[in-house]
Structure 1
Amino acid sequence: MSVYIAHRLFAAHDRALAADLAQRVAAKVGPDRVFLPFCDTDEEDLVAEVKGRRLFELDRERLGRLDAMVALLHGPSLDDGVCMEIGYAAASGIPVIVVTTDFQTYSLTEAGPRFEFPDPILQAVATSIVRVTRLGAPALPSVPAHSRFTGFQSRNTAQTGTALDAAVDALLDLPDRAPQLVGAPAVIGAPVYVEASPYTAWGRDHLAKACVDAGHTVVVPARFTATDPIAGALADLTAVCTAARFLADVSGPEAPPGTAVLIGAAVASGVRIAAFQPRPTFTHAHGREPNWRNLMIQYAAETHLDNGDAVLSWLAA
């Protein structure tokens, strides 16, 4: 079994948590069968002509030959690179175990059904979700006195340990291979799938209108308006993977998580992707070119569009 650990990797505590998970998985399946990004791509010390692109290539190469993925997702702001990797695995028929210690649940309306994550597509594509929401038990009175901060730290450590152990158990219980959810090849005349960003004016999808005005058949997300958001999410996944093109508005503090999932699915399915972001901000890291979005999103897309004319040019190409 070859296992990919998908995790947010920009802060030391996130990398340490992922390494803890990788070590637990390696103890069961062997260290050579576990891929841990940043660690196994030697990201800090890697030297390449275009470092961000090379990192994308290394991660994608491993995504193309794995048996399972375990993804760490924290809180309401979900890492877009991890979400992209989840979408890639899901569209490739790879089982995905998602681990979270978030104690919140989410709904699209105040009284609507509740989901584990802000976008229902993550729940729809996950093979299983390991969710441990409560702190570990307090220390017994017989334990020598310690500060309340040490006690609180140990309860959090116990919580994450429980979650990681449960993830390993779920991994070992997986069938040999998950059925492929989608994957019918795009055909000539297939529609353009267009997804707006929730960080922009909701319901005013100028991108869909531009595609219609250019003579294209357009499909827009179903999951945000469907009576059953999970069924709508699976319909969105199928629509993206069978589309001729995918036009994604990735505006916001990071690419919206559901959009990132669909970008990963589109890459795995060979669908052409354009990322629309009129006001990009750039991230900078040692030895790496400035990135206008998470590098997994940036290099998954064939082009970055920043205005209406650029959209029309891409549609005509």
Structure 2
Amino acid sequence: MSVYIAHRLFAAHDRALASDLAERLAAKVGADHVFLPFCDTDEENLVTEVKGRRLFELDRERLGRLDAMVAILHGPSLDDGVCMEIGHAAASGVPVIVLTTDFQTYSLTEAGARLEFPDPLLQAVATRIVRVTKLGPPTLPSTPAQSRFRGFQARNMAQTNTALGVTVDALLDLPDRAPRLVGSPAVIGAPVYVEASPYTAWGRDHLAKVCVDAGHTVMVPQRFTAPDPVAGALGDLTAVCSAPRLLADVSGPETPPGTALLIGAAVASGVRIAAFQPRPTFTHAHGREPNWRNLMVQYAADAHLNDGDAVLSWLAA
């Protein structure tokens, strides 16, 4: 069994949590069968001409030969690189366990169905979601006196330990791989799946209009308006993997989580991808070229577009 642990890379506590999970998995399946990004790509010490692209290539190569994925996700703002990796795994038929200790759930309307994550795609593609929301029990009176802060830390550590243990057990009981979703070859004039950014004004999808005005048939997301958001999300995933092209608006503080997931699915399915972002912000890391978006999303895209003319040129290519 080859297991990929997808997690946010950019904070020590996230890397530490993923490392703890990797150690527990390694005890069950062997260290050579667990891939931990940042650790196993040796990002801090990696020296190459275009470091971000090389990291993308290393991760994508490993994504192409998985038996299972464990993804760690917390909070309403989900890491776009992790979501992209989840999409790649889902389209490849790889079972995905999502681990969270977030006690919040979400809905698209005040009285709508409760979802595990802000975008129903995450819930739709997860083979299992391990959600451990409760702190560990309070410190017993018989234990030595400690500050309330140390006691609170211990309760959080107990919660984390429970979550990691449940995740390892779930991994060892996963079903077999599902069939792979396969994309269609690109054909000029063929349907284009257009994924708008939820950070732009609702109902004003300028990208879809540009495509329609250019004579293209357009497919747009159904999950945010479908009576059953999860069923709509599965429909969106299937549509993207069967579309010759994906035009994704990645605008926002980060690539929206569902958009990043669909980009990953498109990569795995051989779909041509264009990322639209008129006003990029750049990320910087030691030894790495400036990236205009999370590097996994950036290098997954075949084209980076910043205005309507660029969209038209991409459609005509």
Q: TM-score range by the shorter chain?
A: over 0.9
Paired letter, 2:308: G
**How far did 1:190 drift?**
3.8
Offset from partner CA, 1:3-37 (integer Å, 9 cap, x none): 00000010111100000010010010000000000
The answer for the alignment partner of 1:158 in structure 2 is: 158
Supply the distance in 2 between the matched residues of 1:72 and 1:87 (Cα, whole angstroms).
Answer: 14
Residue in 1 that maps onto 2:61: 61
Q: Which residue of 1 aligns with 2:182?
A: 183
- Structure 1: distance between partners of 2:162 and 2:147: 23
Paired letter, 2:69: M
> Contact (CA 8 Å) 2:186, 2:245: kept in 1 or not?
no
Answer yes or no: is the 8 Å Cα contact 2:76–2:118 preserved in 1: yes
Could you say which residue in structure 2 is the equivalent of 1:148?
Answer: 148
Q: Given that residues 71 and 99 in structure 1 are in contact (C-alpha distance below 8 angstroms), is that contact kept between their aligned partners in structure 2?
A: yes
1:120-131 matches, within 5 Å, as: 120-131=120-131
Superposed displacement of residue 181, structure 1:
6.1
Q: 1:95 Cα deviation (Å)?
A: 0.2
Task: Answer yes or no: is the 8 Å Cα contact 1:87–1:261 preserved in 2.
Answer: yes
Verify the 8 A CA contact 1:182 1:237 in the aligned structure 2: no
Where has structure 1 moved over 4 Å in runs of 4 or more?
none
Corresponding residue for 1:209?
A: 209
Show the 5 A alignment for 1:271-310.
271-310=271-310
Q: SS of 2:300's equivalent? A: coil
**Structure 2: unaligned runs, 5 residues or longer:** none
Contact 2:52/2:295 (<8 A) preserved = yes
SS in 2 for 1:216: coil
For residue 69 of structure 1, give the secondary structure of its aligned residue in structure 2: strand
Q: Call closer, same or farther: CA 1:261–1:275 in 2, change over 3 Å.
A: same
Q: Would the alpha carbon gap of residues 272 and 187 (structure 1) be closer, same or farther in structure 2, given more than 3 Å must change?
A: closer
CA contact (8 A) 2:135 2:155 kept: yes
> Structure 1, residues 131-168: CA drift from partner, whole Å, max 9, x if none?
00111111111110100110000111111111111110
Tell me the alpha carbon deviations over residues 275-305 of structure 1, each in whole angstroms, 9 at most, x when there is no partner.
0000000000000000000000000001110
The normalised TM-score by structure 1 is: 0.98
Deviations 1:180-235 (A, max 9, x none): 26325346454100011011111100000000111111000000000011110000
- Structure 1 unaligned residues grouped into runs of 5+: none
After alignment, is 12-21 or 183-192 more displaced? 183-192
Instruction: Give the match for residue 90 of structure 2.
Output: 90
**Structure 1 match to 2:242:** 242
Letter in 2 for 1:289: E
One-letter amino acid matched to 1:199: Y
Q: Is the 8 A contact 2:70 2:96 kept in 1?
A: yes
**Superposed CA offset, 1:36-57 (max 9, x none):** 0000000011001100000000
Q: Aligned equivalents of 1:287 and 1:17: distance in 2?
A: 25
Q: Which amino acid aligns with 1:19?
A: S
The answer to whether the Cα contact below 8 Å between 2:183 and 2:271 also exists between their aligned partners in 1 is no
Number of matched pairs: 316
In 2 relative to 1, CA 187–301 (structure 1 residues): closer, same or farther, beyond 3 Å? closer
Contact 2:192–2:243, Cα closer than 8 Å, also in 1 = yes
Match of 1:299, SS state, is helix
What pairs with 1:25-174 in structure 2 (closer than 5 Å)? 25-174=25-174
Shift of 1:179: 1.5
RMSD: 0.9
